[in-house]
Amino acid sequence: MTSQKSQNSNMLLAFLTLLGVIVLVAVVGFFMLRKGPEIIQGQAEVTEYRVSSKVPGRILEFRVKEGQKVQAGDTLAILEAPDVIAKMEQARAAEAAAQAQNEKAIKGARQEQIQAAYEMWQKAIAGVDIAEKSYKRVKNLFDQGVMPAQKLDEVTAQRNAAIATEKAAKAQYTMAKNGAEREDKMAAAALVDRAKGAVAEVESYLKETYLIAQAAGEVSEIFSKVGELVGTGAPIMNIAIMDDMWVTFNVREDLLKNLTMGSEFDAIVPALDNQTIRLKVHYMKDLGTYAAWKATKTTGQFDLKTFEVKATPLEKVTNLRPGMSVIIKK
């Protein structure tokens, strides 16, 4: 009888133990399998602009370092461009030559040239006088029947040639005295303007050897080293505009509730001791089929697309840096 009672007690104890284990497993499973809050992770970003040069050259000096704050107009780096300097010398020499040609056209010929042209004209006048006298003498003899017609033709040709020579010499003297024609002066002035334009163009390239900050910001990255050759348009450094910061989230479309254009929401920044910040949505865009969440069953489920959501802090967040994580709990 005692043995029967002991056996029943053992069976009851085993049953209760099994029941307790089942209850414990059920409770643990309930809490473990219970769906927790959805976490949406984003990243802080800023607007950046790339600094590059219009001319190829060698980096002579950096005036800034990574992490340094700069203001618009600050000199960031200086390039050495011997080709541009050589072109500047050529352009200035061409400008000086064009200027001299223009001054010559404005002033006209020198006094010595004018005097020489005048003397040539006077010599031609004397030639006409001699030819005219020879023509008259031969003409009289021809009229008397003493001189043949051939001789008259010769002196006639000589007289006509002397008259033409005198006219040409007079024209040369007049041009030397009056200076260049209006068209010549305009052409010389145009050459000066063209040379000045070439100088201005090379000067603009020379200015490009000084890399200037276009907007205030922070040097986020420097790609090149001092002494390196850089080509036209090659990136030299990036400047981050820290005042233009936002947070980008990639959100599955079934989690877009309360994330609509213009909506405001709270998020936390783990790097700032879980500081809560207030954000406002200003951009939403479908990332396309490549970012879709594919359905795992043929029935009862559908593909979910991913949207890129950008939100701007409503107030400036101290110490928030690009790349820091920002968390939304839903």
pLDDT digits (tens, 9 = 90+) for 279-308: 999 999 988 765 555 555 555 566 788 899
Residues 158 and 226 in one domain: no
Regarding whether 322 and 250 lie in a shared domain, the answer is yes
Identify whether residues 110 and 194 lie together within a single domain: yes
Residues 231 and 315 in one domain: no
- Number of domains making up the chain: 3
pLDDT tens string 143-189: 877 778 777 777 788 888 888 888 888 887 777 666 555 556 676 66
* CATH classification of the domain holding 223: 2.40.50.100
In angstroms, rounded to a whole number, what is the distance separating the alpha carbons of residues 120 and 168?
10
- Residues 282 and 321 occupy one common structural domain: yes
Whether residues 127 and 228 share a domain: the answer is no
| Domain-located, residue 31 | no
Same domain, 198 and 102: yes
Residue 329, pLDDT score? 85
Q: What are 119's two structure tokens? A: 């003397």
Q: Where are the alpha helices (DSSP H) in the chain?
A: 2-33, 82-107, 111-143, 149-178, 182-207
Return the pLDDT at 310: 95
Which helix (H) or strand (E) segment is 252 a member of?
strand 235-252
Residue 153 lies in a domain: yes
Considering the domain boundaries, does residue 267 fall inside one?
Answer: yes
24 belongs to a structural domain: no
Whether residue 294 sits in one domain with residue 225? no
Q: Are residues 42 and 57 in the same domain?
A: no
Residue 286 lies in a domain: yes
| Domain membership flag for residue 30 | no
Domain CATH number, residue 271: 2.40.30.170
For residue 115, pLDDT beyond 70: yes
252 — pLDDT class (breaks 50, 70, 90): confident
Token pair listed for 179 = 């200076």
Q: Tell whether 91 and 199 lie within a shared domain.
A: yes
Nearest to 64 by CA among 206, 213, 242: 213
Q: Are residues 168 and 312 in the same domain?
A: no
Spatial strand order in the sheet of 57-62: 210-212, 75-80, 57-62, 229-230
> What's the predicted TM-score (pTM) here?
0.56
1 within domain boundaries: no
Query: pLDDT tens digit string along 181-235?
Result: 555 667 666 777 777 777 777 777 778 888 999 999 999 999 989 988 888 888 9
Cα-based distances in Å from 129 to 121, 136, 141, 157: 13, 11, 19, 14
Question: Range of 285's domain?
Answer: 36-46+242-329
Q: Do 92 and 173 fall into the same domain?
A: yes
Give pLDDT, residue 299.
55
